[in-house]
Amino acid sequence: MMHAPYPGQTLRLTKVSSAIGTILLVTDQEALVSLDYEGYEHRMMRLLTKRYGPFELVETSPNQHDCSTLETDVINRIEAYLNGDLAAIDPIPANPGGTAFQAQVWHALRSIPAGSVMSYGALARKLGNAAAVRAVGTTNSLNPISIVLPCHRVIGANGNLTGYAGGLERKRWLLNHEGVNLAALKQPSNNPGQQLSLLDI
């Protein structure tokens, strides 16, 4: 008996073990559309449902060699990043969806170099709308593709880490992994010419 094709979008889920827990990768045929963490499946599914409506999620396994070329490349790049090659994630095709404003904010996150952080206010100014700090913060919290669209690199103007959908411990780990001196962010520099990693000018 032949089954009718699924009428909605079909997405593929694969999992990567890491020092910060199991990472959940969701792809369509062309790009990474979600990166979240085990334990946050409800958030991931809520955001995907809001974007796609009804969809089918097919789980694949690198160990069973049933991953697509795209999935394999994303997995390899995420693992390389976690092993210290911070630039490995830069070429990953990412499609977060969202409104035009949300997409603008999410893609702008990729302009923040690894090893640096930026305040919400600085990000709003970078986007040409200094008054949109609150909207930028809200949008950042709804980022569906953690790590690759590096919302963890956005912090409070006073150097506080503020929120992170995957938990502040993960945000702290990612920033430490990228070489950010978190203690220095809260301390004014005695050398006006010293370049700090806080991009809040």
DSSP for 86-107, please give it: GGGGTT--B-----HHHHHHHH
Q: Which residues pair with residue 14 across a beta bridge?
A: 25
Q: Is 26:71 a contact under the CB 8 Å cutoff?
A: no
The predicted pLDDT at position 10 comes to 95
pLDDT at 14: 96
What pLDDT does residue 166 have? 85
- Residues 87-141 pLDDT 10s: 999 999 999 999 999 999 999 999 999 999 999 999 999 999 999 999 999 999 9
135: Cβ contacts below 8 Å, ≥ 6 apart: 101, 124
Residues 44-101 have pLDDT tens digits of 999 999 999 999 999 998 776 788 999 999 999 999 999 999 999 999 999 999 999 9
pTM summary value:
0.87
Section 168-173 average pLDDT: 93
Residue 179: partners with Cβ closer than 8 Å, 6 or more residues away = 114, 115
% of the chain residues with pLDDT over 70: 88
Residue 165 is encoded by which pair of tokens? 């959908």
Q: How far apart are the first and last CA of the chain?
A: 64
Instruction: Clarify whether 67 is annotated catalytic.
Output: no
Does residue 60 contact residue 12 with C-beta atoms inside 8 Å? yes
Sheet of strand 117-119: strand arrangement? 154-155, 117-119, 198-199
Q: State the average pLDDT over residues 179-191.
A: 70
d(CA 26, CA 36): 9
**Environment class of 32 (CB within 10 Å of its CB; exposed 0-12, middle 13-18, buried 19+):** buried
Write down the pLDDT at residue 177. Answer: 97
Label residue 165 by pLDDT band (50, 70, 90): confident
32-37 and 23-27 beta bridge pairing: antiparallel
| 150-176 mean pLDDT | 89
Domains of the chain listed by start with CATH number: 9-89 (3.30.160), 100-199 (1.10.10.10)
Active-site pick, 151, 155, 175, 199: 151
Question: How far is residue 180's CA from residue 115's CA, in Å, rounded to a whole number?
Answer: 5
Which residues lie across from 32 on neighbouring strands? 27, 94
